[in-house]
Amino acid sequence: MTDALVIGAGPAGLMAAEMLAQAGLRVTIAEAMASPARKFLMAGKSGLNITKDDAGYLAAYAPLPPALHAALAEFGPDAVQDWARGLGQAVFTGSTGRVFPVAMKASPLLRAWLRRLDALGVTLQTRWRLTGWDGGALTFATPEGRAALRPVVTVLALGGASWARLGSDGAWAGLMPGLVAPFQPANMGFVVDWSAHMHRHFGQPVKGCALQAGASRDRGEFVISARGIEGGGVYAVSRAVREGAALTLDLMPDVALADVAARLARPRGKATVAAHLRRVLGLDPLRLALVQEFARPLPEALAPLIKALPVRHAGPRPLDEAISTAGGLRFDALDGFMLRDRPGVFAAGEMLDWEAPTGGYLITGCLATGRAAGREAARYALTR
């Protein structure tokens, strides 16, 4: 017998299950993949960034629907750190404010979390894929055949539409026609059709630049790849670029335009333009290569290009390569976190129509919405 059903065993689903079980409900988690939290584990391969120690963290999620604002206000960076410590995982804050478990990987934290859920009596069913509703029952394709459950409450935590191989394929959107904003890539790279001279730079990080797109500006590194540009610096401005802003590079962010112009005005003699740029501006080979790639033919006035080099790109990389997605279940289809047209059915995590940059904000948002949806669902179940 199941009082509460959670569909999806990522961070949002596991957090919702914990809230429901703590309220005394019998909880089952249905996960489509063979094991839980695959995308969460992948995120931890290079160091699990669980949150950002940022007093102004709410601004990273703008625009903020009321339900999302309330969830994040109640479970922000400090609460995420306390939650991790409560699972026996010490944390530390890096120089940029990003917070990591001392163990760095996601697996120790996940194992401790699953042990806690098991102690609370939570049942985990894997390879259970939601196929829809049959009257008041939720139906699943399982290894044993078709299954149908009629829980008192359900929390959907079905993920976004990127990284399909890890379970986030967005297929659930077809079960909710009219309620879903179209998926778009978020925190993604961009396609660049590089000239042959750039091939030797593939795989190299670009340092010492600032990326600018509309009002978004970031000093993070990014990588030149055979597919284009990707990495933290690009992801930070990707939303603005996706929405139509031109992308430019400030190759000398700590030097004013007038100073760059004055340096470039020094006599060049018989030196090539590249040699002159290297000598008077101190540009490394990769930044020089970017100038040659994006500023041909070279104009007479180079200083404005050094401070705002236009990046020619062919749009975002494919949706399935994005770190996360924008779009999803619209907040106007919800009352708090409950679907207006399906009383007793709640939703949380990346399947909701919200967006945040990398740097811990994504995981914080999933945990916060899972916690809020789980609490709402528990209150609903206990008052039936």
**Spatial separation of the C-alpha atoms in residues 298 and 291, rounded to whole Å:** 9
Structure tokens at 133: 């509703």
Render the burial of 303-320: b for 16+ CB within 10 Å, e for the rest. Answer: bebbbebebebeebbebe
pLDDT in tens, 156-171: 999 999 999 999 999 9
Contact 190, 227 (CB under 8 A): no
Residues 6+ apart with CB under 8 A from 328: 160, 161, 173, 180, 181, 183, 350, 351, 352, 353, 354
d(CA 20, CA 155): 10
CA distances for 246 relative to 15, 220, 257, angstroms: 39, 18, 19
Nearest CA-CA partner of 60 in 351, 360, 327, 328: 360
Residues 242 and 327: their CA atoms lie apart, in Å, by: 13
- Length, in residues, of the chain: 384
pLDDT tens per residue across span 241-273: 999 999 999 999 999 999 999 999 999 888 888
**C-alpha span between 134 and 217 (Å, rounded):** 49
Which residue segments constitute the domains of the chain, with CATH numbers given?
4-185+318-382 (3.50.50.60), 190-310 (no CATH)
Is 248 in contact with 310 (CB distance < 8 Å)? yes
Q: What span, in angstroms and rounded, lies between the C-alpha atoms of 232 and 238?
A: 10
Per DSSP, the residues of 309-376 read: EE-----BPPGGGSSEEEEEE-GGGEETTEETTSTTEEE-GGGBS----SSSHHHHHHHHHHHHHHHH
pLDDT for the residue numbered 254: 97
Other CB atoms closer than 10 Å to residue 37's CB: what's the count? 25
- The reported pLDDT for the residue numbered 46 is 83
Give the pLDDT score at 62: 83
69: its two tokens: 């604002």
What confidence score (pLDDT) does residue 1 get? Answer: 57
CA–CA separation, 313 vs 287, rounded Å? 17
Give the pairing of strands 228-230 and 247-250.
unpaired
Please report the pLDDT score of residue 85 as a whole number. 98
State how far the Cα of 136 lies from the Cα of 274, in Å rounded to an integer: 70
Nearest-CA neighbor of 204 among 306, 301, 92, 288? 288
Token pair of 295 as six digits? 């500023």
Contact criterion met (CB below 8 Å) for 80 and 367: yes
Q: How far apart are CA 34 and CA 142, in angstroms?
A: 11
What's this model's pTM, rounded to 2 decimal places?
0.94
Do the beta carbons of residue 370 and residue 157 sit within 8 Å? yes
- DSSP output for 24-55: T--EEEEESSSSS-HHHHHHTTT----EE--T
Listed as ranges, residues in the chain with pLDDT below 70 are 1
In angstroms, the Cα distances linking 110 to 248, 263, 283, 371, 379 are 40, 54, 44, 16, 26
